[in-house]
Amino acid sequence: MIKIAHISDTHITSGEAYKGYAYDLIVNEVNTLDYDLVVHTGDVTNEGLREEYERASYELKKIQKPLIVLPGNHDARNVGYELFQKYIGALNGVYEWKDLVIIWVDSTIPDLNNGRIGGYKFQWLKEKLEEYSHKKFKIVASHHHLVPLPDTGRERNVLFNAGDVLDLLLKHEVNLYICGHKHVPNIYRVEGLVVANSGCTSCRKTRKGDVNSYNIIKIREDGKISVATKRVTGDIHKREFKIKKQRIFIPKRRRLFRIIQMSESNVSDRVYFRERVFKNAIRAINERYKPDLVIHCGDMVDIGIERYYSKAHELWEKIKPEKLLVPGHNDITHLGYELFREYFEEPKILEKGNFIFIPIISVQYETPIGVVGRIGQKILREHLREYEEKFRVVVMHHNITPIPKSREIGFLEDGGNVLKILTEEDTNLVLTGHGGNSLGIKVEETPIINAGSISWELHRNPFGNSFNIIDIYEDMVAAFEIQATWGSRKLLGLWKIKTKVPWN
Ligand SMILES: [Fe+2]
Ligand SMILES: [Fe+2]
């Protein structure tokens, strides 16, 4: 077994921010217990100043175990990344021990709180993952988080290219991604990857009145990984995971429901709107795929004007099966929200046998940034509980897991809280449609599927314009992407599911 103490966000300074007694308490424990290794995921100092680095190098020497330290956004302030290398060590690196490799990456951007693993560094990470692909256990450590975190207020400081990084880690079968930054301990399973945030070890700035903490990671020979958050109060919250190889499943039970999911039609008279592609897709949906329901996840029109709405409505009416749509941020520009209600009506909860579709409005005027809000979150949770015995599908515009090839500009402001509600309530399926690229990913027990653009030329999808076909079986969800012009198919995900639905 390998046992790692994961500390973070010490924020060492001469001022008030730093709680030296919490640091000493945790370091003493780390020294006396049987840890093989300590990893510090950044924000060692508070402002990246020389006096702070001098003190930090003294404080870090108290740790009598092999130690990996990587920089956080606070360390990079005031050109502190130069001092980091002088007083602490390399900004990026690899640590090998037995069956384990830890690759740490600097995700900081000088003078910004947001993160990025961009350009050459991304390439470096990719090369290292290839070089160490033979290792049984792979950990990547960085400062910024990969998926939205709950209880962090305005949730914006994920990596700018989190979608690409997540995609890279999943493709290389990394077992664990560890980070800090938001001072909120959290553990998620994202497909086969465990994403573990450490809380803050010795900064005064904890969230929601929490206390200082660190994470304990245990990696066992039999392929089990456990992550526990240990608070200075002694309180321990532990989760265990089994490392699973990716496998393809074949549904054993009957198919119950078929959804066609599309997004970002952006109907308009601009050259980027591909009307023929859209019409072609409608024909395929009506004649070939024959779904039970067609869902449009936002951005039906490019701009919220009457001319575009009337055109969109005309096209939408050509789709024969039952339909549901939620507004996207483009739909509500100008007088768009009024027009949306007039042409398509306000989205309502739709019940179809054992299936319930819960639309969530996440758009705001004149900005790609989305929000559900505190009342919206409460309503979402209530609905999910009310229909606990149904197969619950949540439909909204904004993506809550990062999308590859996209800079997370139109991110859901409270995505962290929304994701927590969705996963805590074991939502059976989440459908989103922002970012111009497709993605299927399971977080905890919830498959989350984002649709690319069906007919807008300005997308980010190497597969082209597309829509998704989602088949729900008693024991699994199968999602494919259909190329809107050629009809070719690409697998988005096959997920085993457990529900409380009394199928019969
Ligand atoms: Fe921090
Ligand atoms: Fe930070």
Nearest to 29 by CA among 232, 237, 236: 232
Ligand 1: centre distance to CA 11 (Å): 7
Structure tokens at 296: 């449009």
Residue type, 96: E
Proximal ligand: closest to the CA of 8 = 1
Other beta carbons within 10 Å of 132: 16
Distances (CA, A) of 452 to 143, 272, 369: 29, 15, 18
Ligand 1: centre distance to CA 74 (Å): 7
Proximal ligand: closest to the CA of 77 = 2
Averaged pLDDT, 188-211: 95
**In a domain? residue 394:** yes
Predicted local confidence at residue 155, as pLDDT: 72
| Judgement on whether residues 189 and 293 belong to the same structural domain of the protein | no
Predicted local confidence at residue 16, as pLDDT: 84
| Judgement on whether residues 282 and 235 belong to the same structural domain of the protein | no
The CATH number of whichever domain residue 483 belongs to comes to 3.60.21.10
**In a domain? residue 504:** no
Report the alpha-carbon distance of residue 142 to residue 169 in Å, rounded.
Answer: 12
| Judgement on whether residues 285 and 420 belong to the same structural domain of the protein | yes
| Judgement on whether residues 324 and 374 belong to the same structural domain of the protein | yes
Proximal ligand: closest to the CA of 201 = 1
Ligand 1: centre distance to CA 199 (Å): 9
Summarize pLDDT for 103-119 with one digit per residue, the tens.
999 999 999 999 999 99
Compute φ and ψ for 204, nearest 5 degrees. Answer: -70, -25
Q: Over 90: is that where the pLDDT of 15 sits?
A: no
Kindly state the percentage of the chain with pLDDT values over 70: 100
**In a domain? residue 249:** no
Averaged pLDDT, 164-171: 97
Q: Over 80: is that where the pLDDT of 379 sits?
A: yes
| Judgement on whether residues 113 and 173 belong to the same structural domain of the protein | yes
Proximal ligand: closest to the CA of 144 = 2
pLDDT band for position 407 (cuts 50, 70, 90): confident
Ligand 1: centre distance to CA 43 (Å): 5
Ligand 1: centre distance to CA 140 (Å): 19
Nearest to 56 by CA among 73, 39, 69: 69
Proximal ligand: closest to the CA of 13 = 1
Say how far residue 23 (Cα) sits from the centre of its chain: 30
Summarize pLDDT for 299-326 with one digit per residue, the tens.
999 999 999 999 999 999 999 999 999 9
pLDDT band for position 253 (cuts 50, 70, 90): confident
Averaged pLDDT, 457-464: 96
| Judgement on whether residues 173 and 150 belong to the same structural domain of the protein | yes
Other beta carbons within 10 Å of 401: 24
pLDDT band for position 25 (cuts 50, 70, 90): very high
| Judgement on whether residues 324 and 382 belong to the same structural domain of the protein | yes
pLDDT band for position 250 (cuts 50, 70, 90): confident
Summarize pLDDT for 130-149 with one digit per residue, the tens.
999 999 999 999 999 999 99
| Judgement on whether residues 226 and 270 belong to the same structural domain of the protein | no
Ligand 1: centre distance to CA 401 (Å): 22
Summarize pLDDT for 219-239 with one digit per residue, the tens.
999 999 999 999 999 999 999
Ligand 2: centre distance to CA 17 (Å): 13
Ligand 2: centre distance to CA 75 (Å): 8
Proximal ligand: closest to the CA of 158 = 2
Nearest to 424 by CA among 397, 386, 384: 384
**In a domain? residue 503:** no
How many residues comprise the chain? Answer: 504
Report the alpha-carbon distance of residue 47 to residue 393 in Å, rounded.
Answer: 45
Report the alpha-carbon distance of residue 332 to residue 73 in Å, rounded.
Answer: 35
Nearest to 72 by CA among 91, 86, 53: 91
Ligand 2: centre distance to CA 471 (Å): 41
| Judgement on whether residues 320 and 446 belong to the same structural domain of the protein | yes
100-105 and 476-483 strand pairing: unpaired
Ligand 1: centre distance to CA 188 (Å): 20
3-state secondary structure of 235: coil
Ligand 1: centre distance to CA 220 (Å): 30
User: Does residue 293 contact residue 321 with C-beta atoms inside 8 Å?
Assistant: yes
**In a domain? residue 403:** yes
Domain boundary among 198, 215, 242: 242
| Judgement on whether residues 231 and 291 belong to the same structural domain of the protein | no
As beta bridge partners, residue 260 has: 294, 469
Predicted local confidence at residue 152, as pLDDT: 86
Ligand 1: centre distance to CA 500 (Å): 40
H helices of 271-414, in order, are: 275-284, 306-317, 336-344, 373-386
pLDDT band for position 218 (cuts 50, 70, 90): very high
Ligand 1: centre distance to CA 364 (Å): 29
3-state secondary structure of 127: helix
Ligand 1: centre distance to CA 73 (Å): 8
Q: Which range has the worst mean pLDDT, 211-215, 243-247, 313-317, 460-464?
A: 243-247
Domain boundary among 214, 242, 270: 242
- The domain of 184 spans 2-242
Ligand 1: centre distance to CA 172 (Å): 28
| Judgement on whether residues 37 and 158 belong to the same structural domain of the protein | yes
Predicted local confidence at residue 254, as pLDDT: 87
Averaged pLDDT, 92-101: 96
Ligand 2: centre distance to CA 77 (Å): 11
Domain boundary among 212, 242, 272: 242
Ligand 1: centre distance to CA 406 (Å): 25
Predicted local confidence at residue 252, as pLDDT: 82
Chain-wide mean pLDDT for the chain? Answer: 96
Report the alpha-carbon distance of residue 311 to residue 237 in Å, rounded.
Answer: 54
Say how far residue 62 (Cα) sits from the centre of its chain: 36
Buried b (16+ CB within 10 A) or exposed e, 137-151: bbbbbbbbbbbbbbe
| Judgement on whether residues 210 and 274 belong to the same structural domain of the protein | no
Summarize pLDDT for 422-454 with one digit per residue, the tens.
999 999 999 999 999 999 999 999 999 999 999
**In a domain? residue 46:** yes
Summarize pLDDT for 254-296 with one digit per residue, the tens.
899 999 999 999 999 999 999 999 999 999 999 999 999 999 9
**In a domain? residue 383:** yes
Tally of domains within the chain: 2
**In a domain? residue 78:** yes
Predicted local confidence at residue 460, as pLDDT: 95
Predicted local confidence at residue 245, as pLDDT: 75
